[in-house]
Amino acid sequence: MAGVFKNVFGGSEPSALPKVEDDFADFVEAPNPSPVSIVASASTPITAAAGTVGASGVPYTKWYRVWERTSPKDFMQEATIMPFILVILLFHFWGTRKNRRQAREWAKHHAPLLRNEFAVVGFDGIRRSAEASELAAPESILKEKTAQEFATYATGRQNVAFLDVSIQLPKRYNPVTYFMEYVFSFFFESWAPPAERMEAVAYSFDGKEKDLVPVPGGDSSSLKVASSTHDGFVWAVVHKSQMQKFRQDRYDASMTTTKDNAKLPSWVTVMSESAEITDMILTPELIGAIELAGNSLEYLIITDQPLDKPMKIEETTPRKRIQLSLSLPSGHDYASTIPLFTQFVRLTDRLVASAHFRPEVTRKLRNAREEEIKKLRRAEEEEKAEERKLAVEKIKKEERERILRGMTAEEQRKYLERESQKEQRRSMKRYTKKA
């Protein structure tokens, strides 16, 4: 009891601190840390747990020392991929340079001929003198559209409005595409293998010089030129290996009949609308050029019809042109194809001079084209009739819905019953007529 009163009323001895239970140990406040003063001299670096800090204050750790925290095995994936990337890059540069070299070789052999036949060659639109043309680089006439396609343009010649030339080469710059095309062509007959090809199209003036040739001062009526008109027709000489694809890809070829010609080699055939047209076109010079070209010739076509089947009457407007397709000879042996290219460029002169046929032939050509126009006109009229029918049905449907909306439920039921009865009577009448 004395101890109790001593605690109540105070005593000389302080009371002991209470014992902290283990369950409340987490809630005991930790002592506040006191800052430590660090003094470092310039000559004595401070050693840290992560590394060392020098006089410049830059830490030197393993994070910055790549050679200490890595090894060659860490780059095995990159080492595996890099050879493939290098091969693709080398193949790309090789293929691009190869295609450009092929295009330059074509220009080197054909630029003199084009500059002799046309006043303007190339896309710059500049007319050059003979001396300037000889000094100009042959490849200056080319334009690189893509890494596999090169083009040139020529104009300024009698009877030819302009000439478009396209040089199409394999995709050598892409090894995957390049080899896959070879593989597909091996397994699928319809897939053509990669080839080096030149396609040229010469568009005839056909009497439209006043509309196409700019005249200083704008007075085209003073332009006096010889008539460049000729009859429109479709005629072609085609390599037999290309004949099936040629007929499938071109609408104008469907207007011709195929027949071998005794004057031509056995590996080509003639597609013509009339034998008289063939006799007029096949000159000894053209026959000799075709024989010399050999397998490089794919086709030569004279046409006034569209390439794709016309869907509208406006698309049947004649556009007379001559198209030549040649595979580039191996070894740059252009001596075998230049004579045919020359005949192609000058063929319009012969058409203007001789392509005016007898009335019987002209009537046959005109009837064939008018028959195609009649088919399109019938199809157009049927389409318009169908549109009118749909418009009438739409009006009737809207009127029926308007009437039904203004009726009660009972009136709607009776109205629909009458419609059903009418439809049954119509069906019975149609059945009776058929019987």
Over the chain, what is the mean pLDDT? 82
What integer is the mean pLDDT of 173-200? 86
What integer is the mean pLDDT of 255-269? 93
**Which structure tokens are listed for 309?**
């089947």
What integer is the mean pLDDT of 287-316? 92
Least confident of 32-36, 73-77, 291-295, 420-424: 32-36
Name the more confident of 113 and 125: 113
**Given this model, what pLDDT does residue 228 score?**
83
Least confident of 17-21, 28-32, 182-186, 371-375: 17-21
Q: What is the DSSP letter of 29?
A: P
**Given this model, what pLDDT does residue 52 score?**
52
Does position 202 have pLDDT exceeding 90, yes or no? yes
**Which structure tokens are listed for 203?**
């568009």
Name the more confident of 192 and 92: 92
Name the more confident of 126 and 251: 251
Confidence at 32, pLDDT banded by 50, 70, 90: low
What integer is the mean pLDDT of 99-114? 93
Does position 342 have pLDDT exceeding 80, yes or no? yes
Torsion of CA 364, 370, 371, 375, to 10 degrees: 170
Does position 8 have pLDDT exceeding 50, yes or no? no
What integer is the mean pLDDT of 86-95? 90
Confidence at 238, pLDDT banded by 50, 70, 90: very high
What integer is the mean pLDDT of 2-23? 47
Separation between Cα atoms, residue 282 and residue 277, nearest integer Å: 9
Least confident of 4-8, 265-269, 306-310, 417-421: 4-8
What integer is the mean pLDDT of 204-228? 68
Count the Cβ atoms, other than its own, within 10 Å of residue 213: 14
Highest mean pLDDT among 124-128, 216-220, 374-378: 374-378
**Given this model, what pLDDT does residue 224 score?**
60
Q: What are the angstrom distances between the C-alpha of 287 and each of 32, 200, 265, 353, 422? A: 108, 19, 9, 19, 74
pTM for the model = 0.73
Q: Token pair 């295009």 is at which residue? A: 103
Residues 6 or more apart whose Cβ sits within 8 Å of residue 252? 234, 301, 303, 304, 305, 306, 307
Least confident of 69-78, 243-252, 314-323, 418-427: 69-78
